[in-house]
A and B are shown apart, each in its own frame.
Chain A
Amino acid sequence: DAKTTQPPSMDCAEGRAANLPCNHSTISGNEYVYWYRQIHSQGPQYIIHGLKNNETNEMASLIITEDRKSSTLILPHATLRDTAVYYCIVRPESPRGGKLIFGQGTELSVKP
């Protein structure tokens, strides 16, 4: 079962920052936080991941609280094309396995 909790849906105005929260209060010390998104029925798209430090790439920023029990994905300037289901996933770094367990995610609607 997924070990994360996300709001089922959120709206964001185009051009504004989208802040997507995730609760992972039972996260273990060796587990990373991953974010993926899925647009319609396309394959999940990797966005970003982190262990305990905040991370930023060309797509988004990931803010992880100091106690690692929650995190926020930030899309700094949301566009209509960012409308998708966003998944927050925690998983350990396993050299052989590494399955991803998807929850229901947050359905983000970016509106003009």
Chain B
Amino acid sequence: EPEVTQTPSHQVTQMGQEVILRCVPISNHLYFYWYRQILGQKVEFLVSFYNNEISEKSEIFDDQFSVERPDGSNFTLKIRSTKLEDSAMYFCASRETTHTQYFGPGTRLTVL
């Protein structure tokens, strides 16, 4: 069964450093999403992406964040200058034209 994959599973970085989180969505999917979950809190929407542009973003998704689909398979989330409060699980999700989103296993980002 096809699934969303994410790398790395755990990323540790120093405050102020740039990080790139990578996702490989399910191959025939067209809509892509990033969510995050701070430890002990609920899953929060960050951004949705379709047809090579952002369709919607939340207040959390400020200028420090960017997304890209650099090729036909990868979908990335970049945080330009990480802060302590960016420490969280980051989940990628994708869907085809039908509406069910499928989530990846997540990347745990730890900012020191």
Chain A residues near B (Cβ < 8 Å): 32, 34, 36, 38, 41-46, 49, 87, 93, 95-105
Q: Which of A38, A98, A100, A104 has the most CB of B within 10 A?
A: A98
Nearest residue, chain B, Cβ from A93: B99
Known: A44-B103, A97-B55. A102 touches B91 (CB 8 A): no
A46→B56 contact, CB < 8 A = no
A96→B55 contact, CB < 8 A = yes
Q: Is B108 interfacial (CB-CB < 8 Å)? A: yes
Chain B residues near A (Cβ < 8 Å): 4, 31, 33, 35, 37, 39, 42-45, 48, 50, 55-56, 58, 89, 91, 93, 95, 97, 99-106, 108
B101→A100 contact, CB < 8 A = yes
> CA of A103 to CA of B42 in the docked complex: distance in angstroms?
6
* Contact residues of A: prevailing secondary structure: loop
How many A-B residue pairs have C-beta atoms within 8 angstroms? Tell me: 65
> CA of A98 to CA of B106 in the docked complex: distance in angstroms?
20
A-B contact pairs, 12 of them (CB 8 A): A38-B43, A43-B91, A44-B43, A44-B91, A44-B103, A46-B102, A93-B99, A97-B56, A99-B48, A100-B33, A100-B35, A100-B43
Chain A residues with Cβ under 8 A from B42's Cβ?
102-105
A97→B48 contact, CB < 8 A = yes
